[in-house]
Copies of this chain bind each other. A is one copy, B any other.
């Protein structure tokens, strides 16, 4: 079965082809990734406890009784900096745990809480810088998802402009409110809850579900049910989000193993009617296979995952 499906958030057209996942692959020599037998500490890792001289300027630290357990530093090789007027911003690295061999697949609820506390406080600080119009938070887990270092970390980048992908999502949301008078994300939350079969977890503050259409096979989405942005998160939001991430990654591991993934946090644009038309949401994108020439050449993506079946495997 082949059909075109439209992603309700991005507006992307996706080719849904139910049996493309069955094609054969040559055996590969081994996985192109980090050593999973790593210890909690690596002497060569700039993000490990004790190697602080390797990292760039410290921005924020969280402590337990003994030492730091999560922190934020400026990125030594920033995509953006404040040196030019045409395009500027900050680029920081959030070190999510002191454990070198940590990952979302094995982090504790407390480690997730520290991660989201830093998301919130760094977002707040970066979004208050003059001229900044957007703050992006994302994570690359493993080499195949674009990670250059293994130690669990995410990144936060501020911009003096709204990135193209967010402009695209805003456009879709603005068209929806113009046509219906209703917020697109509220409508998606309502219709997902009403349909039910794509839901992974329906919380008080967040809804986790598998989208009906996405360019990324196996993507999971989390939409905030309230108008709070990342900088507004209280402990109650962070508690629920940590519970969702802990359980989701246990389920993902059981379903497909510890495959590479990206976390994309789509926050509010800072200077527009964001809260009326938009809602903070997250895309969790598995990166088992690489995009090939078909996707690069056409900007069509082919998807073969049945969303109801995937949600049923991941729900908790």
A interface vs B, CB < 8 Å? 1-4, 13, 15, 17, 19-20, 22-26, 28-35, 45-46, 76-77, 79-81, 83-84, 86-88, 136, 138-140, 143-150, 155, 157, 159, 163-166, 168, 262-266, 283, 285, 287, 289-300, 302
Contact = CB atoms under 8 A, between A and B. Distances in A.
Given A2-B87, A289-B146, A293-B263, A164 B80 contact: no
Nearest to A149: B26
Contacts of A292: 138, 140, 145-147, 262
Contacts of A83: 2
A34 B24 contact: no
10 contacts: A26-B34, A28-B32, A28-B33, A79-B302, A138-B294, A146-B293, A164-B298, A264-B293, A264-B297, A287-B290
Nearest to A84: B2
A168 B291 CA distance: 19
Nearest to A291: B146
B32 A294 contact: no
Nearest to A1: B84
Contacts of A263: 293
A136 to B, nearest CB: 6
A155 B2 contact: no
A26 B149 CA distance: 5
Contacts of A293: 138-140, 145-146, 155, 262-264, 285
Contacts of A283: 296-297
A29 B26 contact: no
A134 B157 CA distance: 38
A188 to B, nearest CB: 19
A30 B34 CA distance: 9
Contacts of A165: 296-300
B86 A4 contact: yes
Nearest to A87: B4
Given A32-B32, A79-B294, A23 B148 contact: yes
